[in-house]
Structure 1
């Protein structure tokens, strides 16, 4: 028996060598999806005879991008496959492999077209969609019932009213309780939150599709000022340092009535160690004064380092991970709930059983507000940081909403120069 096993092992090794087996290193991100990424990659490695190495990138999106840019600037081949935010293709396209023709059109057609378009720069397919996101409102179903509410808030004004009432009641027994948490840390997460406020208030999307700077308007100013008024009222002062995981930590520990976060937080909230397990509702984000609700389009994609020495294997890995089998696993395993980019999976009974809100909120995911990465192209990162700085200055009470958007408009004009 030992001899047979040894022979089988040697045969497998020989076949792998004949097939040109290589070691592929992948950026698996960080946080809840890191281990799930490793499991999927290991399934691919077992199937193909290749081996894999894993890189855990910074949890903060801005730091993650900076690291990728640093490696590409050094023409480093160390990481073959990069995990890319939906707004990065325009920034990185020159140094990533063009996947058009290397990933069959029949496979791409199954993904949401808008996400494929977002990953296409000047006709070059920079990355393949892996999971999509949009901002959502999480709420405590038990507390809404306790305080006489039959449904989640439809507007931001309603959220403030409800959060104040629940917070006042819960603080009688828990001084740490707060009404609402979001991502207020200066960076890309704040860009996403602030864009939702501005768009919901009718203030536009910072820069419009034609490339015109539009943020200097009264409604955008009102949106930022309104968000600042929540702090130390229904939102803790520390929210200005919160990213996604810190906000989730407060909510999942039972210390918040409402939370803005991405879809991944739902499955984690149902985990065995969650204090709010079975008490979480998910809804579209509230609307602004004009009745419009806005959710920022998020999502992550996989691209190949242009300096990789293992490009064929890296492309094969991407096709495997973004295929229906792996996307379904990521959508259904406990602790996951990553939104598929493949349209067919939104009709899959197992996916809908694991994530009941996927069906009812499909419109949120497919009609989310895009950040202006398309019109601002390679300058998007500067635009985003300038917007986040402006929003942060308002949240920190260093500027009024109007002063912030006025100064921001000037700064964006400087960044734009003669054109995006």
Structure 2
């Protein structure tokens, strides 16, 4: 999700960037006197969290008398800064906006937010959000937005009558926007011609390549991803090998660019926007950038489905309260206030956290990706990644290299067996 956000925000103006830089540095701390009317917030610089916080700060100050001081950091340093702060037990900041993947590692330094939202407010959250922000039975984060991969495709190519006739002659059924693995693979092969490709895969080492594989695994029936019900790895079950084999087949078909090992989510999006790809499975909010480049040539559809149906991996972010903040009560009021400002994330990023916000925008033609996101996020096989403090290590040291090896031709089942043994050893340590 990190690169996805940066891609859509690449057009941030120099002026805004200068504001972000100015906000960095001296935070003023959160340990001042009781007369200190400042709340200190840490966010990713230039991201939607910073923009929404800035746009609503004056209203919060008017209501409460508390000024919001915003400290920013690049994504790459945001986690490190918070980890050092929570480990030290010193509250430099009162609040922060974090990636869902960081909860396990930061949890001991975060306050419980149970009771901040009413039952009705929690019910207005999109699926998986309350669960994703809950650890050991305690709600530790108020969702800011959620996201998932969906299918973006070239409407003009799929609606072209010559293409439709040629596809039916070759494959024996009507060309349509893919909903299944077979349809997606066939369309990818069909549109690979004249120097362009049907689709692409994330072959670049990193989180997105693992996410892409796990999404296919959920579609093939995987549950309790990677670690299984008893927190034990179960990578040798059929859905995981089926997913890896399917991805390998896309590569073997020649339906993806030959330099796939160097492609990340942003690079693939650029290729799609330049007309070099017929389809891509990408984060929903990328639709806004694609529509800006391609106009009505781009369409959005739910994530494709496998034998178990549609499935994806959500990419939510949350606002959290640091346990060592001296301003717990007013900080919780701020979290409640920001829940009411959730529409701001839809305007800035194209996604939000509340069902009511999604509903408000689902028929807006400028947000044609919203219905596809709703269908994907509410699908029965859509599920969160494992809530374990070791996930980053498992992902980077074991799973990402494994996916890349299979892309290059390694046997999927053998690589999954080795990966399971590696994860078992890590868990024992």
TM-score of Structure 1 vs Structure 2, range by shorter chain: 0.7 to 0.9
1:211 maps to which residue? 231
1:92 maps to which residue? 106
Match of 2:321 among 274, 284, 304: 304
1:280 maps to which residue? 298
- Cα distance in structure 2, aligned partners of 1:229 and 1:70: 43
- Cα distance in structure 2, aligned partners of 1:46 and 1:240: 52
Helix, strand or coil: the match of 2:345? helix
1:24 maps to which residue? 40
What are the superposed Cα offsets for residues 129-182 of structure 1, whole Å, 9 maximum, x if unpaired? 11112221111111212322652112233223222322304x2xxxxx332134
Residues 29, 83 of structure 1: 8 Å contact kept: no
- Cα distance in structure 2, aligned partners of 1:396 and 1:69: 36
Aligned ranges 1:323-342 → 2 under 5 Å: 323=340, 326-331=341-346, 333=347, 336-338=349-351, 340-342=352-354
2:200 maps to which residue? 181
- Cα distance in structure 2, aligned partners of 1:294 and 1:267: 22
Residues 42, 93 of structure 2: 8 Å contact kept: yes
Residues 132, 341 of structure 1: 8 Å contact kept: yes
What are the superposed Cα offsets for residues 170-201 of structure 1, whole Å, 9 maximum, x if unpaired? x2xxxxx3321343332322221110122223
Residues 28, 38 of structure 1: 8 Å contact kept: no
- Cα distance in structure 2, aligned partners of 1:87 and 1:364: 20
2:337 maps to which residue? 320
- Cα distance in structure 1, aligned partners of 2:84 and 2:34: 35
Unpaired runs of at least 5, structure 2: 1-32, 165-173
1:269 maps to which residue? 290
After superposition, the Cα gap between the structure-2 partners of 1:218 and 1:117, relative to the gap in structure 1 and judged at 3 Å, is closer
1:243 maps to which residue? 264
Residue 96 of structure 1, CA deviation: 1.0
Q: TM-score, normalised by structure 2?
A: 0.77
Match status 1:254 vs 2:275: yes
- Cα distance in structure 1, aligned partners of 2:297 and 2:50: 26
Match status 1:157 vs 2:182: yes
2:193 maps to which residue? 168
What are the superposed Cα offsets for residues 180-238 of structure 1, whole Å, 9 maximum, x if unpaired? 13433323222211101222234553222332321113442232133134337222244
- Cα distance in structure 2, aligned partners of 1:19 and 1:382: 43
- Cα distance in structure 1, aligned partners of 2:276 and 2:94: 41
After superposition, the Cα gap between the structure-2 partners of 1:42 and 1:416, relative to the gap in structure 1 and judged at 3 Å, is farther
Residue 103 of structure 1, CA deviation: 4.6
Residue 105 of structure 1, CA deviation: 4.8
What are the superposed Cα offsets for residues 364-408 of structure 1, whole Å, 9 maximum, x if unpaired? 21235323424xx333333333322322332244x3211210001
Residues 181, 251 of structure 1: 8 Å contact kept: no
- Cα distance in structure 1, aligned partners of 2:113 and 2:123: 14
Residue 257 of structure 1, CA deviation: 1.1
Helix, strand or coil: the match of 1:178? coil
After superposition, the Cα gap between the structure-2 partners of 1:159 and 1:109, relative to the gap in structure 1 and judged at 3 Å, is closer
1:200 maps to which residue? 219
Residue 342 of structure 1, CA deviation: 1.8
Helix, strand or coil: the match of 1:303? strand
Unpaired runs of at least 5, structure 1: 1-16, 172-176
- Cα distance in structure 2, aligned partners of 1:259 and 1:19: 53
Aligned ranges 1:139-150 → 2 under 5 Å: 139-146=153-160, 147-148=163-164, 150=175
Helix, strand or coil: the match of 2:143? strand
- Cα distance in structure 1, aligned partners of 2:61 and 2:400: 40
